[in-house]
Structure 1
Amino acid sequence: MSTLSWNCRGLGNHRIVQALRSTVEKEVPILVFLMETKIPRKQQHKMKEIQNSIGFTQGLIVPSEGQSGGLALLWKPETFVNIKGYSKWFIDAEVICGNVQGSWRFTGFYGQPDTSKREETWQILESFGHSNVLPWLCIGDYNEILRARYTWSRHFENGDSVWARLDRALANEEWMRKFANARVVHISTIESDHCMLCLQWGHDTRNRMNTRKLFRFEAMWLRDPRCPEVVSDAWERGLSLSSGFPIHNCLHSCREALKRWNKLEFGHVGRRISALQAHLQRLEQQSELHGEDI
């Protein structure tokens, strides 16, 4: 099982949404907590479209104030979540497990960016702690710096870099005893200057069965002038088959032809992207040795 937390810096960018969808498919979290969605109340239909695209149709959305802030806690219908409270700084909930693990508390937290007012949001967490009786996990962007692995970076034209730990997951002793093998994985992206935090625990619930991968039509194919010819020839081959349904034959022929053409002309784009992201993460880890500790 896992939860995903990300200061995405705006869901209006389709590349941000694509990165989120890709990580959700890979990590299969039960909860997704997003900060700085930058989606105001009048554009909440966009948030619903994003939820549907990643398969997390349930959730609580805190709209942004213009192009500033905005929170979202998302989950799937099979996950039972009871919202306890929320504001522009947090979403507090009880997660109800249907197994022997019982219930636990989840707080998605976004610290006040204004340092002069940051104490206000820390007081919120302090009040939660005084009243809490459940195993408790608190995850998010605290906008506070700790001496630990960096989760935020900024690079300047003169070659200087600043690295800081702003995003983190905290849990009380009860939660740690319940999920003793929990670990935090930092997922680097080129779409945001914040890493995603993936908190993993328990057995690996990701489906690793050898099922046929879903075929997806790549938009980049349309930019290649050879694409119409590939589709046209494949469609004709499908029509020439004497058995089966013509439309099924044509679609199957097009799918297989496009897959072969993509492999020959473009290679495995998904694997290349994954390899580049892994390389980026290694470079960031190496750069930490030269980053400015602030």
Structure 2
Amino acid sequence: METRLDRDRFMKHCRDLAYPNKFLVKKPDSGGGLALIWKEDVRLEVINYTENHVLAKVVEDTGFQWFLTGFYGWLKSCQKHKSWALLKHLSSLVTGPWCCIGDFNAYLHSLEKLSNHPPQEKHMEEFGDALESCQLINLGFRGYKFTWNNKRPGAANTRERLDRAVANKEWLDAFSECSVSHEFSHASDHMPLLLQIGKDNRLQGRVARGFKFEEVWLLSEECEDLVGEAWGRSGGGGASLVGINNKILHCD
């Protein structure tokens, strides 16, 4: 995660957390930087880092190994190419399941920006090309659509989805029940991301699961046809909530 605290203040404010392991990367000419914290029973090894990323290897109790990257993209438009060069470099270092999560300081689609200023097509294309080159897939999300808000009033307000989690197919195959939630924060202009990998299979099936839309479904060529077929097959109900719910059930 990104922090605006220096090392001493970070250690002071986080000393009572149930995360005794802490790794901090100080940002040059700034009091803050990046921080990675983890619990005592988590087997994690930091492999390398810069002021824009931390790459770690996680070993599960079963011996299964996967890679985790905390990512912070360059903010200025003229430097965004550095973000994608770094992402591609990290991809060359990783062999096996890989998940990358953080503030990319970029959005993928025009619908991920709400502002009087139009989205920059070139930056969206470059971000998408980088993810495709690294074979990284969006994990989708639950919650409010935008993760960043400049908190300015009226027409000056801008909201964007700058934070996300992506992973390669090997990681998705291993953690097929994963989910990402956009959480509320009263202190930051960013919404925290909560990634749940859902590795405890014993909890599955005990309660009925509600419907959730996964952004990754949009990558499937069959998605539109499947939804169209289910919508037409589900019969009446119209646009009422009951009718819409029945149509959604036919998509399962």
In structure 2, do the counterparts of structure 1 residues 45 and 68 end up closer, same or farther at CA, with 3 Å as the change threshold?
A: closer
Alignment of 1:63 onto 2:26: yes
Counterpart amino acid of residue 56 in structure 1: Y
Counterpart in the other structure of 2:4: 38
Structure 1 gaps of 5+ residues are 1-33, 207-294
In structure 2, do the counterparts of structure 1 residues 152 and 205 end up closer, same or farther at CA, with 3 Å as the change threshold?
A: farther
Counterpart in the other structure of 1:187: 183
Counterpart in the other structure of 1:88: 51
When the two structures are superposed, what TM-score results if normalisation uses the length of structure 2? 0.61
Superposition deviation, residue 63 in structure 1: 1.6
2:10 partner SS:
helix
Tell me the distance in 2 between the aligned counterparts of 1:57 and 1:50: 13
Superposition deviation, residue 59 in structure 1: 2.0
Superposition deviation, residue 121 in structure 1: 2.3
Counterpart amino acid of residue 64 in structure 1: K
Structure 1 stretches of at least 4 aligned residues deviating more than 6 Å after TM superposition: none
Counterpart amino acid of residue 55 in structure 2: D
> Which of 40, 48, 55 is the aligned partner of 1:77?
40
Structure 2 gaps of 5+ residues are 113-144, 204-252
Alignment of 1:140 onto 2:106: no
Counterpart amino acid of residue 140 in structure 1: G
Superposition deviation, residue 205 in structure 1: 10
Counterpart in the other structure of 1:166: 162
Tell me, yes or no, if the aligned pair for 1:69 and 1:88 is still in contact at 8 Å.
Answer: no
Counterpart in the other structure of 1:117: 79
Map 1:116-265 to 2 at 5 A: 116-147=78-109, 148=112, 149-158=145-154, 160-202=156-198, 203=200
Counterpart in the other structure of 1:103: 65
Tell me, yes or no, if the aligned pair for 2:151 and 2:189 is still in contact at 8 Å.
Answer: no
When the two structures are superposed, what TM-score results if normalisation uses the length of structure 1? 0.53
Q: Which has the larger radius of gyration?
A: 1
More helix by share: 1
Tell me the distance in 2 between the aligned counterparts of 1:205 and 1:89: 37
Q: CA RMSD in A?
A: 2.2
Counterpart amino acid of residue 87 in structure 2: L
Q: Percent identity?
A: 29
1:81 partner SS:
strand
Tell me, yes or no, if the aligned pair for 1:38 and 1:69 is still in contact at 8 Å.
Answer: yes
